[in-house]
Amino acid sequence: MSEIKWDDSFSLHIEAIDQQHKKWLDIYNAMNKLTTVGEQDPNMQSQMDILQAMLDYSRFHFDYEEKYLHQHGYAELVQHSKLHKEFEYLIYQSYVALKEGEGVLNLKLLGIIKGWLLNHILIEDKKYAHAILSPYDAKKICPKKTLDSGGNHLCT
């Protein structure tokens, strides 16, 4: 699985949240690295540690984001929080399965996590940024993520 490189097309133009998303992707990338190595040399403790780190950071970020959305009166907060809960549950379940020897941090799980993170930041989180930011700032948000022939992200 390829890593996720943060670039401006991820930006919501809300500094604190952009910083948290960067840190979140760092944890995903560490998980990705570990899985590639882990498939040859499974080390359950390090897999559990990284899932725990993903769970802890997701909880911290969701809590921060939901308070922020509440303060700004975001109308879709309930639906947005449900998406957060689904992800938290997926990571929690995976952690428990791993702990009980019934699961493994594999490429299938990693693919699901990657897809969820990309969809959530690029689609769902951008929805609230558009609703909350001033029209001037909202215009800075990259509307669509596409790649040029060199693999660079473009905002079109």
Binding site for Fe ion (CB under 5 A): 65, 125
Residues 7 and 122 sit within 8 Å (Cβ to Cβ):
no
Determine how many CB atoms are found less than 10 A away from the CB of residue 110.
17
CB of 121 to Fe ion, least distance (A): 6
CB of 108 to Fe ion, least distance (A): 24
| Position closest to Fe ion via CB | 125
CB of 146 to Fe ion, least distance (A): 21
- Measured from the CB atom, the residue of 107 and 112 that comes closer to Fe ion is 112
- Measured from the CB atom, the residue of 85 and 108 that comes closer to Fe ion is 85
- Measured from the CB atom, the residue of 38 and 126 that comes closer to Fe ion is 126
Q: Max alpha carbon distance in the chain (Å)?
A: 51
- Measured from the CB atom, the residue of 32 and 125 that comes closer to Fe ion is 125
Which letter does DSSP use for residue 154 in this model?
E
